[in-house]
């Protein structure tokens, strides 16, 4: 049989009426071969459909036969010499292959005294039969379907009587019977009562399966947090393809089965299921391995190992692909991604959470037996959906738990859930926690209580200070899906975090003071005000404002002698600070009301001290005794006048003093901080100079003095800081850079420039002495805006900065740029805004990574060359370039349609803004109106690539920060609105906003294949009369690989809103009720889309728009979500 995995809709065995459908030519084989085959199939209990001659009357296949084919698991096609002479047989074959594609029906071709090549090529008797059909004036389209079906069926692996059992019919029939019984005896698995969202994720995995070689042994590993639906996915995959294997085996709950019975029993179960016996006995793991290799090596098998939690399970059951026959598939589900390290990268699939629509549907099906919630429950349902975070386990559990209860009961139960997780959810999620070692469990709980949402570096710093091996623990938590990355920050799924907090609550359910970690405001208040703390408390978190106005004594902390992490932001505490725990490693006391840090503050083991936004005037604390302090944050301490003496503080690595507006001096001892890597002084507007000792900071990599407006100079020897990588010095009073700046050989980011004047809402130039040259070959970001540079002032060796990615020379005075962009191959961002004297640019052709080009207010710029060859471009802003002719020709978009953007930016669509009030002639579909309706052209052999949307907008009356929204709607029931907020360009006239929407990008088209004859409508959804003209330029790839533009048909009579009715035609109460009804249904279509739909509806009465418009507007998203048609 063909082993290529087939993608199609799954058919549950419960929906099928027959095991086998027999397709044959009656006059050839009814009374011999097919009759005998039918008898044997019935004899062994295979439910087989064989037609009656009475059904074959007329020229069209009967409805009964049509239904019988669809209701059969297997179709056996008996090709004989006269098979093709029957139009009935040929129509049956077309229908059978359609069911193979759509329903995953198994097709078994049998060649009875006929050569398969005659069927495949339609020669011999098949050629003669088809010619006779043609003479009978059978339509050409029907003939083509027959020929294609014959070819496809003959290409399937099947049986040729001449090559099996030496032509003996009886033995031939027994071979067929054996194969059929193997298929029939395999039954589908029960996937889920409501398998919402499953098909979408199964298709992702099937694409992976189809991409590989059909003869190799494939493995697929599905990993994810507990309750996300890994087992459901594995079962759904099984049901899609199990009929393509000689034997199948599902080993459920491998984790618990191993714990209860051992791996040997699992090996026995695998062998017995695959070999269809009960006789195999395994005495040891080693013996089991040998038996698997010996007995299964020639079999094409499907094996699912569900909930694997240890590598030894995989070693004993499926260690090597060579243990199994060609075409086999092994599916593994696990919570631990590390267990899949031996699989290829494309064989590892991370199970995804449900999106908002899927989550609402799944929850509602279990709570209401309906795909959407009842009216009175809508808001509560949305709260529970948000709480569940798309986790199927939670949605199913809570939906079933709340079914049939009143609204008041729902409110009570939800309130309870926020305090104590549902026991079934807790049990499943805690399995992952229980499998961790002590170190990793502690790290998990610390993050769940104190460091959720923190930067990874800050978390590891704090946890290492507490004595944990945080790096390895965090890596394990990632692999077990108990922790996730959001950029550089660490986050947990809310239910996973709550699981950890529940574990700690159970340490002492009735006495919070005896738990290891505290965070709930009421419990913290009770413990602190009642002095109920104990030595068991290690972490205490007081959320800001939680104890506002409450004054506490340090006595409240006396018993917490093992407290190591303390967050008391905005809390007012007085007393003897020596009573605080001497084990403190991490302290956050933002908004501290103390004027001076007490000298007896227990800081011996403190590693992180954050007092951002405090009232501290004099630090007070002797840093000599803070030998372990690595990070000190005193930013936004507006009253701080001087820094502490840093003598003896050898461990300090990060010093943050940003926006300390009263700070005038930096203590010279700062030069003693040998390990200091980062120093932030930004916004310290009273600092006039930096101590020369700062140049002794040999480890310093990051120096931020941005917006130190009184700072006039940099230390002469700043070039001695050889490890300095980032220097931010824009917005200072510095007029001249020391010559030693050129010695900063490791510099990556240099920013120097003018002051931002808030009153004028623009930058002012600060005349800076030119930087003659820059020696660092590592510079990737160079910002020199508003420095008053002319052509000769630009650093002369800028072309040698081969790693430069971001260049900002805005607001300077040069007429041209004295360097060649081709020498900067990695350049991604180029900013030349406000260069009012700039007349010409070097060619920007071949900057393959350039994605942002800003040139606004370059009023003398007349020409730009190379725009057509920017494959990664995403943003171009040329507003108020009044001397520049429209540089965007048709070739620009054709080139972009063919380009392959860099991976980092390929998910974004180009957004262009230029000073232009006309849509160019090459844009073939355009109107002078705020909306357009376009019928797509019907084309053959051309592939739709995308479209250019060109808007001419009048923005002089639009507020500076306002957006306007344009909706692109694919006029089809399966379509979905695409809503894009356009940022307001900085212009006071008519400008052009241009967007390219690629069909390859999921964002605008949602994977829809827009076909000829279908409609696209584009309209402005804002109240203001902003859009004046709209153009749509359609791009196609022709059969020669060239980009072609084809015109559609513009409906010039189209208006998005019918003529407004008088107020008397509309009942405001009815409209309000209708809006409430829609709110109860359209709960979460697409967050942006639903908000736009509902907000627009709520303004309907004020706009006097008629009823029909309401339904027209919401019909597409509602149909897309619920498959229902709403009519007015």
Q: Can you tell me the mean pLDDT for 744-765?
A: 64
DSSP calls for 492-547: --HHHHHHHHHHHHTTSTT-GGGSSEE--HHHHHHHHHTT---TT--EEEE-TTTT
Taking 70 as the threshold, does the pLDDT of residue 1113 lie above it? Answer: no
Q: In what order do the strands lie in the sheet with 247-251?
A: 247-251, 301-308, 329-334, 218-223, 348-350
Q: Which of 62-76, 629-643, 710-724, 974-988 has the lowest mean pLDDT?
A: 974-988
CA distance linking residue 141 with residue 419, whole number of Å: 66
Whole-angstrom Cα distance, residue 883 to residue 857?
Answer: 10
Taking 60 as the threshold, does the pLDDT of residue 1021 lie above it? yes
d(CA 1065, CA 990): 37
Q: 756-785: buried (b, 16+ CB within 10 Å) or exposed (e) per residue?
A: eeeeeeebebbebebbeebebeebbbbbbb
**What's the whole-number average pLDDT of the chain?**
83
Kindly tell me if the per-residue pLDDT of 1084 is higher than 50. Answer: no
Confidence of residue 743 (pLDDT cuts 50, 70, 90): confident
What is the band of 599 on the pLDDT scale with cuts at 50, 70, 90?
Answer: confident
Q: What was the pLDDT predicted at 970?
A: 60
- Choose among 880, 838, 1096: nearest CA to 986: 880
DSSP output for 213-246: -TTSPEEEEEE-STTSSHHHHHHHHHHHHGGGSS
The 10s digit of each residue's pLDDT in 553-572 is: 999 999 999 999 999 999 99
What does the pLDDT average to over 1085-1096? 39
pLDDT given for residue 204 in this prediction: 82
Confidence check: pLDDT of 764 > 70:
no
| pTM, 2 dp | 0.71
Question: Among residues of the chain, what percentage have pLDDT more than 90?
Answer: 52
Region 12-29: mean pLDDT is 82
Average pLDDT over residues 367-378: 91
Residue 670, C-beta contacts closer than 8 angstroms, at least 6 positions apart:
643, 646, 655, 676, 691, 693, 694, 697
Note whether 165 and 31 are within 8 A (CB). Answer: no
Task: Give the tens place of pLDDT for each residue, 709-723.
Answer: 999 889 999 999 999
1042 pLDDT band (50/70/90 cuts)?
confident
pLDDT at res. 302: 94
Residue 681 near residue 706 (C-beta atoms within 8 A): no
Please give the helix or strand (H or E) that residue 720 lies within, else none.
none
In this predicted structure, what is the pLDDT of residue 980? 53
The predicted model gives 573-595 an average pLDDT of: 94
The band of 938, judged by pLDDT with boundaries at 50, 70 and 90, is confident
**Residue 348 region by backbone torsions, left for phi larger than 0, else alpha for psi between -120 and 50, else beta:** beta
Residue indicated by tokens 């002084």: 681
What sign results for the dihedral spanned by CA atoms 578, 580, 585, 587?
negative
- What's the pLDDT score for residue 295? 93
pLDDT digits (tens, 9 = 90+) for 496-548: 999 999 999 999 999 999 999 999 999 999 999 999 999 999 999 998 777 87
Cα 30 from Cα 27, distance rounded (Å): 6
Bridge partners of residue 970, in order along the sequence: 1016
Pick the range with the lowest mean pLDDT from 196-210, 267-281, 474-488, 700-714: 196-210
List the alpha helices (DSSP H) in 951-1050.
1002-1005
Average pLDDT for 1001-1028: 70
- The CA distance from 1063 to 1106, in Å, is 10
- Residue 259: Cβ within 10 Å count: 10
The predicted structure's pLDDT at residue 1105: 37
Q: Does residue 183 carry a pLDDT above 80? A: no
pLDDT-wise least confident of 183-197, 314-328, 333-347, 1063-1077:
1063-1077
The overall longest dimension of the chain from CA atoms, in Å, is: 108
pLDDT recorded at residue 135: 87
pLDDT of residue 1088: 37
> Which pLDDT score is estimated for 63?
81
Phi and psi dihedrals of 782, rounded to 5?
Answer: -130, 110
**pLDDT value for 1114:** 42
Q: What is the mean pLDDT of residues 883-898?
A: 79
Give me 685's structure tokens.
Answer: 């507007």
Q: What is the mean pLDDT of residues 949-960?
A: 72
Write down the pLDDT at residue 771.
58
Q: Does residue 8 register a pLDDT over 60?
A: no
Per the model's pLDDT, the better-predicted residue between 40 and 1089 turns out to be 40
The mean pLDDT of 308-322, rounded to a whole number, is 95
**What mean pLDDT is predicted for residues 888-908?**
65
Q: What pLDDT is stored for residue 1118 in this prediction?
A: 40
Under 8 Å between Cβ of 853 and 845: no
DSSP H or E run through 305: strand 301-308
pLDDT reported for residue 986: 60
Do 226 and 429 meet the contact criterion of CB atoms below 8 Å apart?
yes
pLDDT value for 1005: 58
Residues 391/363, Cβ–Cβ less than 8 Å = no
The per-residue pLDDT for range 781-802, each reduced to its tens digit, is 999 998 888 998 888 788 888 8
The 10s digit of each residue's pLDDT in 673-703 is 999 999 999 999 999 999 999 999 999 999 9
Choose the catalytic residue: 9, 70, 92, 257.
92
Asked if residue 224 lies in contact with residue 351, where contact means CB atoms within 8 angstroms, the answer is yes
Q: Is the pLDDT at 57 greater than 90, yes or no?
A: no
Q: Which two tokens stand for residue 1004?
A: 């605008």
pLDDT given for residue 681 in this prediction: 97
- DSSP, res 618: B
Closest among 643, 632, 651 to 588, alpha carbons compared: 632
Per-residue buried b or exposed e for 460-488, using 16+ beta carbons within 10 Å of the residue's own CB: bbbbebbebebeebbebbebbbbbeeeee
Per-residue model confidence (pLDDT) at position 317: 96
How do the residues of the chain divide into helix, strand and coil, expressed in percent and rounded to 5? Answer: 35, 20, 45
Closest to 628 (Cα-Cα) out of 598, 590, 585: 585
92 is catalytic: yes
- pLDDT band for position 965 (50/70/90)? low
Tell me the three-class secondary structure of 308-370, residue by residue.
Answer: ECCHHHHHHHHCCHHHCCCCCEEEEEECCHHHHCCCCHHHEEECCCCCHHHHHHHHHHHHHCC
Q: What is the pLDDT of residue 6?
A: 40
């Amino acid at each position: 049989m063909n082993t290529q995995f087939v993608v199609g809709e799954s058919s549950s065995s419960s929906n099928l009426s027959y095991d086998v459908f027999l397709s044959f030519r009656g006059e050839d084989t009814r009374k011999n071969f097919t009759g005998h085959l039918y008898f044997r199939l019935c004899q062994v209990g295979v439910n087989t459909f064989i037609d009656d001659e009475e059904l074959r009357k007329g020229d069209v296949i009967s409805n009964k036969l049509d239904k019988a084919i669809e209701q059969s698991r297997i179709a056996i096609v008996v090709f004989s010499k006269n098979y093709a002479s029957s139009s009935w047989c040929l129509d049956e074959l077309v229908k059978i292959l359609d069911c193979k594609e759509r329903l995953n029906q198994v097709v078994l071709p049998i060649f009875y005294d006929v050569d398969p090549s005659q069927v495949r090529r339609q020669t011999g008797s098949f050629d003669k039969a088809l010619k006779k059909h043609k003479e009978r004036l059978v339509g050409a389209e029907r003939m083509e379907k027959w020929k294609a079906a014959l070819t496809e069926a003959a290409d399937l692996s099947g049986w040729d009587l001449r090559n099996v059992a030496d032509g003996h019919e009886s033995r031939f029939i027994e071979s067929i019977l054996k194969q059929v019984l193997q298929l029939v005896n395999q039954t589908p698995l029960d996937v889920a009562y409501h398998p919402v969202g499953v098909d979408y994720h199964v298709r992702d995995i099937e694409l992976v399966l189809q991409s590989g070689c059909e003869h190799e042994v494939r493995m697929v590993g599905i990993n994810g947090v507990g309750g996300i639906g890994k087992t459901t996915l594995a079962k759904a995959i099984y049901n899609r393809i199990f009929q393509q294997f000689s034997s199948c085996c599902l080993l459920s709950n491998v984790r618990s089965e191993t714990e209860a019975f051992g791996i040997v029993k699992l090996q026995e179960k695998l062998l017995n299921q695959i070999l269809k016996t009960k006789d195999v006995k395994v005495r040891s793991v080693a013996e089991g391995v040998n038996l698997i290799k010996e007995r299964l090596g020639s079999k094409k098998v499907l094996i699912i190992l569900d909930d694997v939690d240890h590598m030894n399970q995989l070693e004993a059951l499926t260690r090597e692909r060579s243990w199994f026959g060609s075409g086999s598939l092994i599916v593994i589900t696990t919570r631990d991604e590390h267990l899949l390290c031996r699989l290829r990268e494309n064989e590892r699939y991370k199970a995804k959470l449900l999106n908002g629509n899927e989550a609402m549907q799944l929850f509602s099906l279990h709570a209401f037996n309906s795909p959407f919630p009842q009216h009175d429950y809508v808001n509560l349902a949305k709260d529970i959906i948000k709480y569940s975070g798309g986790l199927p386990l939670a949605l199913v559990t809570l939906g079933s738990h709340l079914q049939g209860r009143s609204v008041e009961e729902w409110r009570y139960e939800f309130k309870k859930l926020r305090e104590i997780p549902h026991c079934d959810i807790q049990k499943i999620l805690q399995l992952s926690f229980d499998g961790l070692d002590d170190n990793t469990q502690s790290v998990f709980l610390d993050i769940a209580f104190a460091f959720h949402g923190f930067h990874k570096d800050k978390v590891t710093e704090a946890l290492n200070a507490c004595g944990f091996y945080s790096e390895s623990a965090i890596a394990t938590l990632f692999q077990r899906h108990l922790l996730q990355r959001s950029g550089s920050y660490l986050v947990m799924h809310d239910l996973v975090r709550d699981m950890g907090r529940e574990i700690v609550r159970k340490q002492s359910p009735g006495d919070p003071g005896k738990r290891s970690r505290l965070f709930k405001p009421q419990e913290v208040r009770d413990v602190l005000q009642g002095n109920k703390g104990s030595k068991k408390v290690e972490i205490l978190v007081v959320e800001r404002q939680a104890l506002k106005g409450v004054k506490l004594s340090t006595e409240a902390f006396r018993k917490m002698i093992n407290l190591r992490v303390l967050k008391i932001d905005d809390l007012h505490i007085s007393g003897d600070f020596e009573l605080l725990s001497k084990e403190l490693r991490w302290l956050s006391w933002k908004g501290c009301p103390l004027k001076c840090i007490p000298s007896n503050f227990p800081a011996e083991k403190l590693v992180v001290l954050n007092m951002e936004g405090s009232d501290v005037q004099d630090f007070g604390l002797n840093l000599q005794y803070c030998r372990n302090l690595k990070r000190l944050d005193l930013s936004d301490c507006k009253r701080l006048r001087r820094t502490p003496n840093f003598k003896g503080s050898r461990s300090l690595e990060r010093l943050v003093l940003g926006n300390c507006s009263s700070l005038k001096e930096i203590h010279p001892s700062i030069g003693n901080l040998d390990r200091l890597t980062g120093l932030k002084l930004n916004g310290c507007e009273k600092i006039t100079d930096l101590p020369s000792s700062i140049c002794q900071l040999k480890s310093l990599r990051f120096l931020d003095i941005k917006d130190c407006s009184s700072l006039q100079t940099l230390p002469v020897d700043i070039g001695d800081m050889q490890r300095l990588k980032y220097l931010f010095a824009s917005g200072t009073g510095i007029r001249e850079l020391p010559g030693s700046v050129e010695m900063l050989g490791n510099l990556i980011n240099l920013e120097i420039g003018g002051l931002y004047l808030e009153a004028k809402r623009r930058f002012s130039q600060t005349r800076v002495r030119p930087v003659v040259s820059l020696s660092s070959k590592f510079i990737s970001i160079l910002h020199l805006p508003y420095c008053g540079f002319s052509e000769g002032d630009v650093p002369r060796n800028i072309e040698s900065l081969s790693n430069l990615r971001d260049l900002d020379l805005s607001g300077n005075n040069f007429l041209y740029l004295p360097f060649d962009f081709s020498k900067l191959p990695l350049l991604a961002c180029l900013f030349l805004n406000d260069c009012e004297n700039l007349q010409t640019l070097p060619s920007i052709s071949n900057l393959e990574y350039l994605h942002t080009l800003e040139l606004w207010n370059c009023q003398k710029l007349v020409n730009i060359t190379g725009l057509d060859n920017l494959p990664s471009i995403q943003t171009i802003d040329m507003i108020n370039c009044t001397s520049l002719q429209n540089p965007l020709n048709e070739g620009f978009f054709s080139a972009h349609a063919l380009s392959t953007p860099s991976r980092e930016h390929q998910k974004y669509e180009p957004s262009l803004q230029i000073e232009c009030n006309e849509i160019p002639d090459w844009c073939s579909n355009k109107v002078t109106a705020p909306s357009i309706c376009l019928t797509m052209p019907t084309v053959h052999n051309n592939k739709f690539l995308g479209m250019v949307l060109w808007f001419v907008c009048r923005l002089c009356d639009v507020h500076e920060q306002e957006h306007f929204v344009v909706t692109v709607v694919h006029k089809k029931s399966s379509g979905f609105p695409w809503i894009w907020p356009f940022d307001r360009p900085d212009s006071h006239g008519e400008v052009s906003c241009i967007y390219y929407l690629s069909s390859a990008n999921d964002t605008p088209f949602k994977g829809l294949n827009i076909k000829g004859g279908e409609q696209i409508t584009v309209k402005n959804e804002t109240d203001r009369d902003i859009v004046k003209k709209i153009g749509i330029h359609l791009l196609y790839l022709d059969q020669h690989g060239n980009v072609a533009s084809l015109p559609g048909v513009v409906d010039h009579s189209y208006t998005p809103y019918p003529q407004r009715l008088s107020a008397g035609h509309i009942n405001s109460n009815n409209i309000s009720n209708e809006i409430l009804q829609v709110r109860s249904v359209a709960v979460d279509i697409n967050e942006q889309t639903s908000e736009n739909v509902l907000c627009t509806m709520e303004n309907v009465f004020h706009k006097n728009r008629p009823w029909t418009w309401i339904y027209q507007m919401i019909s597409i998203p509602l149909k897309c979500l619920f498959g229902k048609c709403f009519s007015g």
